[in-house]
Structure 1
């Protein structure tokens, strides 16, 4: 396994038969989970080869359009332009929703608040507030750690808040870089997948903010499984896999493994949710 420039790459080599060689590209939110699933899939299907890389949902979808992937992992649905391009190219797509994720907003562990409401978060991330003083009373500049425009998580947060991100927001390659930035910055705020927090961030010097829809309402944590199952958290979303119909026969064994009791157990153990 390698981690290069924010792109996590796993290559499991089995036979060289192209009918059992699967390429998975896309969402950094899903990449650690995909790696975990692929490793366990390979233990019982060692005649397959599976290559997984991140780089963002947009990159995964573009890879499908260019014929460079069999599965695009995406933390957002296709947009209108992408849907049109698939139709123009005559590429029929099958969509699989295999898990539910929540986006977590993180700050340093000593940040003076434990929760934030949606309206205030909107002002922070859009750049309307450039200083934490209206929020925490502390006169320090806000530093935003986010993702690039090809990120499904960036698109998801932007659409949920109906904003354009502040021009001062730092664009990071993935969850790990955002985590590193925030834990070193007393005035930083960033967003990462809750699954990533559960897997890699519980011992980090960061705090996961609870989110309330309105001021005065109860705040909900993205790490609260009961709240996610009840769909009470504002920033929760399905995780997608887009698969060209021509690749379906090749990848169906992997998809079936994801849906099996063993696969579901791995998904939940990795900090993601399954909503039946």
Structure 2
């Protein structure tokens, strides 16, 4: 996924080098006049936001090899747990921070800045060899995923579908995707049947469904897009007819109710460090291309400009 970025950034990175040299945020400079940054940046959280942040980190470290950036994937909840304890500088999040997490941050003296970075459409997928499912209604999804679900076979969803066990795959309970999906589909956040293959790593879910003809699961749109030759996306009917997840339907909001914004949260104290300030600036300046190339939907330009204003 990240390898696709190399060609796209050849010109943009050269432009960044010039801009940084003109207005660099660090006192040390190398022989070419480019600002020199050192240090480490710790990031953790959402596996959905991970590909965007990881791509930004890789490209930034090419410019500034003395900066070490680590990006974890403990899920949105796991990321916020570390973020509000002051263990990391940046949290990737596929949902807004909760009141309880905000309270924990205050208790620990953590102030932060929220940066919206992209739109995503949680994608329901089946195996490529599945030739009976093209769409599901929200009510059918609720029937499948509710805590008291009686669905064990495909034929329990619609008569005529295979009398075969349905094998479910989905994010773990620390995932923001899990939380958003359960609230949108089941009606209450974190309420779900538990007899499914769960992982905070979306790549694990992808591989599980690729290798299982009778599987059904859900995860971020970019992971489907990256594997669209091996998976089939299911159109969702929210009462106005089936709508497939695409860049266009996510952007215009017709892919309901599974479209959502994605965020990064940055510790204000960390943002005072030159290397982190420069990284977040780099992230926002390049977010439209990064987001598009990864497979998500960019925010409006005004949102990224507002993000840059927040950094200042």
What displacement does 1:27 show? 0.8
Check whether the contact 2:45–2:80 (CA below 8 A) recurs between aligned residues: yes
Residue 210 and residue 129 in structure 1: after superposition, are their counterparts in 2 closer, same or farther (change >3 A)?
same
- The answer for the alignment partner of 1:29 in structure 2 is 48
Counterpart-to-counterpart distance in 1, 2:47 and 2:172: 11
- The answer for the alignment partner of 1:143 in structure 2 is 167
Question: Any unmatched runs of 5+ in structure 1?
Answer: 1-16
Match of 1:49 among 68, 74, 81: 68
Greater strand fraction, Structure 1 or Structure 2: 1
Where in structure 1 do 4 or more consecutive aligned residues deviate above 6 Å? none
What displacement does 1:18 show? 9.7
What displacement does 1:19 show? 6.6
Counterpart-to-counterpart distance in 1, 2:298 and 2:281: 15
String of CA shifts for 1:103-160, please: whole Å, max 9, x gaps.
1111111221111111111111122423221434221222211121111111110111
The TM-score with structure 1 as length reference comes to 0.86
What displacement does 1:275 show? 2.7
- The answer for the alignment partner of 1:6 in structure 2 is none
Match of 2:255 among 206, 225, 233: 233
Q: How many residues align?
A: 254
Match of 1:153 among 171, 174, 177: 177
What displacement does 1:61 show? 0.9
Counterpart-to-counterpart distance in 1, 2:66 and 2:199: 36
Deviates more, 1:46-55 or 1:100-109: 46-55
The TM-score with structure 2 as length reference comes to 0.76
What displacement does 1:34 show? 1.4
- The answer for the alignment partner of 1:203 in structure 2 is 229
- The answer for the alignment partner of 2:277 in structure 1 is 252
Superposition CA RMSD, Å: 1.9
When Rg is computed on C-alpha atoms for both structures, the one with the higher figure is 2
Check whether the contact 1:105–1:189 (CA below 8 A) recurs between aligned residues: yes
Which SS does the other structure have where 1:29 is aligned?
coil
